[in-house]
Amino acid sequence: MAGAFEGETVTRRRLMEGGVQLAGGVAVAAIALPALGFALGPLFEEQEPERWLDVGPEDDFNDETYVPKVISLVPQVGDAGKTTIYVRKFNSEKDTVVKGENPLPYVAISTRCAHLGCPVRYIQASQKFVCPCHGGVYGFEGQVEGGPPVRPLDRFYTKVVSGRVEVGKRFSLNSQLHRFPHPRDPSNHLDGLWQYLYPGRPTT
Amino acid sequence: MKLPTPPLPKALRPSPKRPGGGRNGKNGRNGPPPPEPTVKDHLVEGTATAVGWLDERTGATPFLRGFLYRKVPKGTNWFYTLGSATLFAFLSQAITGVFLAMYYEPDATRAYESASHITNDVFLGEFVRGMHKWGSSVMIILIFLHMGRTFFFGAYKYPRELNWVIGVLLLVLTLMMGLTGYLLPFDQRSFWATVVAVNINASGPIVGPYLADFLRAGAEFGPTTISRFYAMHMLLIPGLIVALIGAHIYLVTKLGTTAPPWLKAEKKDLITEEIP
């Protein structure tokens, strides 16, 4: 660009334009970046510290059938934060044990359907979980037996403290019932290469 | 020495004598005095003055003449009103939405109660909520009819492709309005429908789970999820819609509308080449 004198590479006009554009950019960024971070912040926040919830004495449960229990997953939102879970004792004959994993003393199945998150219901007569929304069917261990779900029903960690059963964090399983410590959203496949397309997030 | 007249405001200056009356007028020497101006005359004159004042300072007349008195092609028919109908559906949604916001409380423990309070207790609340609820469906139906008209009349072709693209963005934004608004009554149906909708978002590879986290403000449906949906529903998306409607209408005004496809161009308008 021709300058005011020989050898000038940037004219004063061009310098002023650039300066004004830079100032405007800084001003926009000063507003936009905090606003964006404000909206996207929850994506990178870790979940609340682990909570263990009491679901009743050991006598309430057996290893043949599920007992429904209501727990409060998100305490601040009233009824919307409550969810039903199905709990039974670990059954050494029926339950699959994955190599290298210690079986949990109790099996606590989440009612969140692995298709799109509708609440499933346990039918005692057929020993199956069925989903009312799109017809997902799960077997006794929560493994997929029919319909659109992509992986077995999620579970919760369990432990026994002085004769009472407590449930902790949610975890997801793939079709071999291998545990994934970061729970995934419904609709996320966890078998084979799929697990890398649906990574565990900071929030889970 | 004669001093110049002080610069009095117009209202205080003595008005010149009215022509035609008295013995001063050349022609009205013997005629009757003119009638006193009536209240109506004052009103008409006042309005004209006010409008003229605004017009002189804004240049509204040439703008409005170009904007409202455009030439339209032959064969323009009722199908061409679907866009305006959509616009009025949007305005109706905006107005009823503002009034619903005066009573609605975007809180997980209060949303359902405040929504049923609007329906059951507030004077005309049922009517306004009904207008907003059914109006949303009307708006989406009108958008699709408008889109169908544009498609089947070939009105998306050069030079109007950009307006088609803006229209598709408006369609997507309107569907997002439907999605975010569906949660707000916070009954069983809207809660579970939103759970399913968020999980459909989560089914996209890589970005899906993060998108779901963004919508829920976390991994679970939490205390700020409903306020997030509310803010998107009444501030973020409507703002974008208003901006894009502005661009949409600007382009319609600039490019004009198309004639229906069944009309053939008239002989005199055809560009022909004479072979010598």
Judge contact between A128 and A140, C-beta under 8 A. yes
- In angstroms, the separation between the Cα of residue B227 and the nearest Cα of chain A is 12
Residues of B with Cβ-Cβ distance to A204 under 8 angstroms: 219
CA nearest A118: which of B208, B112, B228, B197? B197
**In whole angstroms, what is the distance from residue B226 CA to residue B186 CA?**
9
CATH domain B76-255 topology: Cytochrome Bc1 Complex; Chain C (1.20.810)
For chain A, domain boundaries: 12-44, 53-197
Residues of A with Cβ-Cβ distance to B222 under 8 angstroms: 74, 76-77, 81
Q: A167 pairs with which residues across the strands?
A: A53, A158
What pLDDT is recorded for position B25? 47
Give this prediction's pTM: 0.84
Was domain A53-197 assigned CATH 3.40.630.30? no
Per-residue pLDDT of chain A (204 residues), as tens digits, is 455 677 778 888 899 999 999 999 999 999 999 999 998 988 888 776 778 999 999 999 999 999 999 999 888 888 889 999 999 999 988 898 888 888 999 999 999 999 999 999 999 999 999 999 999 999 999 999 999 999 999 999 999 999 999 999 999 999 999 999 889 999 999 998 999 999 888 888
Does the beta-carbon distance from A204 to B191 stay under 8 Å? no
**In whole angstroms, what is the distance from residue B97 CA to residue B132 CA?**
7
| List of residues 6+ apart from B164 with CB closer than 8 A | B150, B156
Does the beta-carbon distance from B109 to A78 stay under 8 Å? yes
Judge contact between A154 and A112, C-beta under 8 A. yes
- Average pLDDT of chain A to the nearest whole number: 91
Q: Which one-letter DSSP state was computed for residue A77?
A: G
Going from the first residue of chain B to its last (276 residues), give the mean pLDDT of each consecutive group of 10, the final group possibly shorter: 75 72 53 80 93 94 90 92 97 97 94 96 96 98 98 95 98 97 95 95 94 91 92 96 98 93 78 73
For chain B, domain boundaries: 76-255
Does the beta-carbon distance from B186 to A80 stay under 8 Å? yes
> How many CB atoms lie under 10 A from the CB of residue B273?
5
What pLDDT is recorded for position B3? 75
Bin A120: left if φ > 0, else alpha if -120 < ψ < 50, else beta.
beta
Q: What is the pLDDT of residues A90-144, one digit of tens each?
A: 998 889 888 888 899 999 999 999 999 999 999 999 999 999 999 999 999 999 9
| List of residues 6+ apart from A172 with CB closer than 8 A | A151, A154, A179, A180, A182, A183, A184, A188, A190
Query: What is the ipTM score, two decimals?
Result: 0.88
Judge contact between B108 and A78, C-beta under 8 A. yes
